[in-house]
Structure 1
């Protein structure tokens, strides 16, 4: 740190930034958030900050780290305050967020967290714990053999997992006659509310089948869709933000201007009036989830692989390449008709916003980072749209080019790209298939089989395999620009 005074309640008035427009001492905590990290602090906590400023002072956040004390250690001396730096091509705007009050570290005092969750004042429990923390087995159900699950079942008073804390607190509330809180998952899982409900009830059944049946009847698990790019904070960011703020901030966060939160409107004990602050409250999140997967994530995957092949290290650099921009426009044209037409979506406005986001040079979103785990991501992001297009008699040339570019980029590692530049769970079989550059159609067919794409594509497998192989041939013999030109016809 620089030796400047640190950010806190006492120094807040000196902060050269937009400051919380409410009396923090009047705020009470109605939300417990599990998994406090940069995304939560740049997303849900900001929406809650706006609700508090509008007078809904019963919805402050108790923020919980499930593993590391690092966030607590950084923010507790700052009374939970931190700076949000919103970045775009015009510069950086600073805002101090005040919605987080108490900060807990679960492993240090599990009983304290159980008590906070069981407190009648807690009405919503939000989660951003990442997919790994849900401890799913290969089939998608709860891994009851996991050591931490076994521990929680044997030691309900000192849980280690999300499941143990949620079920332990819900059991305590039920025993005390307190209605259950709403469990609001904000992780990037398809149908995240339904998924978390299934896992929590599986844990509850392993603990007590009567309890599980009661929770199944009374606990709401709304699904959500969240979106905002939040890069990791660097020491350079800390120094720059401190100089602008006039105060030291141990852990600011930075983000793009765009943010989106779509929430299924189903809560047991009320909720903030989030709809007044840009949150889309809906009966069904799934159409919005599909739009994000097929238009944002699908374009991200396609431009990342083509960007890697064309030497573009970031999203903004790749999107700034005229050929790759034409590819993205073509992919959107092919994917948009696969979205439901009667769900109230506005895909043209959405891709207009995406174009602005992809062009933002202030956020260095690395193509190599997006390229990771393609075998797991492409089915939802690209192949579902490609199958729908072929079944409807529409073109899928740009969608299949995205898949061919993934295969070509995998093959390029250790050649034109550094070895290990990005990774995939299927790296070993992919490397074996692609060694020696087998004929394109044979390579694509083998990759599709190894990745389980055949089951996703069903009767469209053969035509989509052939299209993908055509693109792969051009990527091998010419370059990304030539493949994009050929896809455009």
Structure 2
């Protein structure tokens, strides 16, 4: 960053809304872009609109982190939420002031553990990546700190138990935001495993279960982080230097699985925030995976073969957008359990999100690991539609043929499998077994390749050729892609 003649963002350099002094009621494991644009944003709004009066103390989960920068700026940073909302282009700016400080457990772990003795502390939020919630038996109670996040949390909870174990209501509401199934319950299992492994006593294990609430949650917001190319211009406009600028899409949705009593403790509804507290988060996760992620996986490979490179541009193409909408509204939504009105409202937000003018979402980035993505995101809709109607969904079936055509590589390299689009090379990236399979079948006819892919139980967990008519229809689409191109196949699907 070029040096500007402005001061670093601190309280004395900013004259907008800032939360006055408040107790640290939230501990957050993770100080990265996502949590600062999601959890901390919601808490900041709660503070302003409901008198929640809570500061958040951050703990960086790995040795290299942002603690020094965050503390230099007294926890302040500028957040921009940008995109389309209700058909309008939106660019919202807010200086977040709920963060009190950031601790580095690799420099002073005792300072982190001392937070457990704060009687005001009530909530723990975390996002330590998908690999963060893992039970590593090599972690020891005496480690300072333990390497895995669940082990650190167990050490922290034990300190809390030692200080307040005889008092009711001094446990925590723990909000796990990692992108794994049942994240809260998996975290609780890991903690109980460490409590047993470290022989911390049955009283402690019972206290964990009785006084602490491990909430599984679903998080949904694309966070693009520090806007390197725009940072100098933003700092000039703001009149201060902010090395922690964060950016994300305007859309946000948080589903927290927990008792209804949480609604009083965490008054998100009162603040008008898109946070839902429910006794079952799974239908909402299914909605996101099947509609948002499923839409991505269904159309991006065909759109790439049709000559597109960025999601936003696909939404400006009438055929591609209609193909995506038909997939969502006619083939995916009928297989889901939530009320149709809710599903269609979410689907409408997906189209706005894909049109976001501030995010250049590359189709090739979305194509990574498409095999496992198609299995998790699209295959359930295929089978659900067949079960509901007795017919094959045309767009979803075509999307499988797009997947096969996209993976028709010609050369295997250390970086991946090389495919060709209109005479230009592109890189196909997936598990090595997937790349080896498609390379081995690179010279197959459309019929032989469709059969080989459909019957590959290693990919799909079952033989898809047993779905009535599926293999033959995939073969027909694949032959048409090779003859007419992916775009014409999309157009054909709209007429069926």
TM range (shorter): 0.7 to 0.9
Decide which of 219, 222, 235 is 2:228's aligned counterpart: 235
Closer/same/farther in 2, CA of residues 217 and 259 from structure 1, 3 Å limit:
same
- 1:33 is aligned to 28
Verify the 8 A CA contact 1:433 1:446 in the aligned structure 2: no
> Would you say 1:182 and 2:173 are equivalent positions?
yes
What is the correspondence of 1:90-239 to structure 2 with a 5 Å cutoff?
90=89, 92-117=91-116, 119-135=118-134, 142=135, 144=136, 149-150=137-138, 152-153=139-140, 155-178=142-165, 179-208=170-199, 210=202, 211-212=204-205, 214-239=207-232
- What are the superposed Cα offsets for residues 273-326 of structure 1, whole Å, 9 maximum, x if unpaired? 112232122221111111111111111122321232123221101222222111
- CA distance, structure 1, for counterparts of residue 471 and residue 154 of structure 2: 46
Relative to structure 1, the CA distance from residue 126 to residue 309 in structure 2 (aligned partners, 3 Å threshold; closer, same or farther) is: same
Q: Distance in 2 between matches of 1:118 and 1:267?
A: 28
Per-residue CA deviations over 1:108-137 (Å, capped at 9, x if unaligned) read: 2233223224533221111111102223xx
Cα deviation, residue 267, structure 1: 8.8
Instruction: Give the stretch that moved more between structures: 283-292 or 201-210.
Output: 201-210
Rg comparison, structure with higher value: 2
Give 5+ residue unaligned stretches, structure 1.
14-18, 136-141
**TM-score between both structures, scaled by the size of structure 2:** 0.86
CA RMSD of aligned residues (A): 2.7
Q: Which residue of 2 aligns with 1:354?
A: 350
- C-alpha contact (below 8 Å) 1:84/1:252 kept by paired residues: yes
What residue in structure 2 maps to residue 486 of structure 1? 492
- TM alignment of 1:340-489, pairs within 5 A: 340-341=337-338, 346-393=342-389, 394-412=391-409, 413-416=417-420, 418-420=425-427, 422-424=429-431, 426-440=433-447, 442-443=449-450, 445-446=452-453, 449=456, 451-455=458-462, 461=467, 463-488=469-494, 489=496
- Superposition deviation, residue 85 in structure 1: 1.6
Residue 364 (structure 1) shift: 1.2
Q: Distance in 2 between matches of 1:376 and 1:117?
A: 41
Return closer, same or farther for 1:420/1:176 CA change in 2, 3 Å cut-off: same
- Given that 1:186 and 1:226 are in contact with CA atoms closer than 8 Å, whether structure 2 keeps it comes out as yes
Per the alignment, residue 16 of structure 1 pairs with: none
Partner of 1:85 in structure 2?
Answer: 80
Deviation at 1:451, TM superposition (A): 4.3
Deviation string, structure 1 residues 322-364 (Cα, Å, up to 9, x no partner): 221111111112000111146x861111111111111122211
* Counterparts in 2 of 1:448 and 1:76: CA distance versus 1, 3 Å: farther
Q: 1:154 to 1:96 in 2, by over 3 A?
A: closer
Q: Greater share of helix residues, 1 or 2?
A: 1
Higher mean alpha-carbon deviation, 428-437 vs 233-242, is at 428-437
- 1:444 is displaced (CA, Å) by 5.1
CA contact (8 A) 1:223 1:263 kept: yes
| Structure 2 segments unaligned to the other structure (5+ residues) | 410-416
1:426 & 1:232 partners in 2: Cα distance?
A: 33
Listed one character per residue, the Cα deviations across residues 44-82 of structure 1 (whole Å, up to 9, x for unaligned) are 111100111125344221112111444223322111111
| Equivalent position SS for 1:223 | strand
Between the aligned partners of 2:212 and 2:282, the Cα distance in structure 1 is 20
Could you say what secondary structure the match of 1:301 adopts? helix
Query: Bigger CA drift: 224-233 or 400-409?
Result: 400-409
What's the offset of the Cα at 1:478? 2.6
Q: CA deviation at 1:21?
A: 5.0
Say whether residues 1:74 and 2:81 are aligned partners: no
CA distance in 2, matches of 1:302, 1:334: 11
TM (norm. structure 1) is 0.87
